[in-house]
Amino acid sequence: MSGETFDAVVVGGGPSGATAATDLAKVGRRVALLDRAGRIKPCGGAVPPRLLRDFDVPLSLLVARATSARMIAPSSRAVDMQIGGFVGMVDRDIFDEWLRNRAAETGATRIAGTFERLERDADGTAVVCYRPKGAARGSEPERIRARAVVGCDGGRSGVARAAIRGAGNQPFVAAYHEVIESPGAAVASFDPARCDVWYQGRLSPDFYAWVFPHGGQTSVGVGSARKGFALREAVATLRRDTGLDRCATVRCEGAPIPLKPLRRWDNGRDVIVAGDAAGVVAPASGEGIYYAMTAGRFAAQSVDSFLETGNPRELASARRRFMKAHGTVFWILGVMQYFWYASDKRRERFVKICEDPDVQQLTWDAYMNKELVRAKPAAHARIFFKDLGHLMGIGRVAS
């Protein structure tokens, strides 16, 4: 393998990288998919119906279907929201491996190893240096040449930091979750078809905590951007308060989650990033799977155009297309997170707003279809004035 030249080397085999590799292989490009085997990102695992449609994901990969969500305020007020359909839940170990296998079946060459650095040959061609699985740290890396490199290697992307200016400066939320055996009827407050979200400062001072059922297993987690916040203790508190501390722990995982897209996704030459490496996790919600796969698809299309034309400006089209489709939603969610998550008083008002039927319908319409709903101006107007009332402290909040 060492010394071979590929049209593209995709670094990272999560949803974004696997999608990019699959799409490039489909159009006849010679692709290598470099991935650290066994790495699972902490993730609630929710996927909207549009993801299943857009990326040909079979229903058999869903381990559960959530039909409702419960928002819990600092006062312990609970607001139940009916989805009006279902949100699919996946286990990332199974889901990600299925995506990687599909990439290989489509024609991508899978390589198990850890990215170490980028180099250049004498002719300027990019060289991806990696440590094969099982090789000792410090051993001489393997090298593969690439006409283009696609970095999908997570929030602290080595590819992005090596090739794209300013890539290490975006804000992050530290996420930690514990995957446990689902309790079933043993815990009265647990509903296997409901996602529970806690907006309480004691569990997260600036984000939220969650319990997301995955069939036989459940993800219990928390996120926070506050340095030094005790994530493990917060999860232990949540499990104790909900009775989930009686459930066996399957595994524990943590990772940084970026919540702002990079200003640039490419180096203007032959490297592009996507997924968490590009910062495409939705603020406020932390949703990332759909956006990662979409970014991976746009990156693949831009790389294919670059390889066809030789014009590196084609690489910049991936970010432009993504932001045109989803930039407004990211901006709105960013403002929402900045304001509503700032204090328990504001969190209380935020959960109160979620009682509103207009808010619930438009929220789920936007989530399920991944686009802003413009067909109901009267509902938008009602929400605007209600939201303004809460912002000014006029909205009534029961304690």
**Is 27:304 a contact under the CB 8 Å cutoff?**
yes
Which among 322, 326, 345 is positioned nearest to 391, based on CA atoms? Answer: 345
The pLDDT tens digits for 377-386 are 444 444 444 4
> Model pTM?
0.90
Question: Homologous superfamily of 5-42+92-170+261-330 in CATH?
Answer: FAD/NAD(P)-binding domain (3.50.50.60)
Task: Give residue 38's pLDDT.
Answer: 67
**Residue with the two structure tokens 């066809």:** 308
The alpha carbon of residue 221 and the mean position of all alpha carbons in its chain are separated, in whole angstroms, by: 14
Q: Which letter does DSSP use for residue 110 in this model? A: E
What are the tens digits of pLDDT across the range 92-115? 889 999 999 999 999 999 999 999
**Mean pLDDT on 6-25:** 97
Domain ranges of the chain: 5-42+92-170+261-330, 64-90+173-258, 340-391
What token pair was written down for 199?
């907006």
Statement: residue 133 has pLDDT above 70: yes
The tens digit of pLDDT for each residue in 387-399 reads: 444 444 444 444 3
How does residue 334 score in pLDDT terms, banded at 50, 70 and 90?
confident
Q: Residue 260: which pLDDT band, with cuts at 50, 70 and 90?
A: confident
Residues for the chain: how many in total? 399
pLDDT at 160 over 90: yes
- Does the pLDDT at position 169 exceed 90? no
**Diameter over CA atoms, the chain:** 69
Query: Does residue 168 carry a pLDDT above 80?
Result: no
Buried-state track 126-143, b at ≥16 Cβ within 10 A, e below 16: bbbbbbeeeeeeeeebbb
Tokens at 203, concatenated: 């569990």
Predicted local distance difference test score (pLDDT) of residue 2: 60
Share of the chain above pLDDT 70, in %: 91
Which 3 state secondary structure label does DSSP give 120? strand
Instruction: Convert the pLDDT of each residue in 306-320 to its tens digit.
Output: 999 999 999 999 999
CATH number of 64-90+173-258: 3.30.9.10
Residues 296-326: b if buried by 16+ CB within 10 A, e if exposed: bbbbbbbbbbbbeeeebebbbbbbebbeeeb
Rounded Cα–Cα distance for residues 289 and 173 (Å): 16
Average pLDDT, the chain: 89
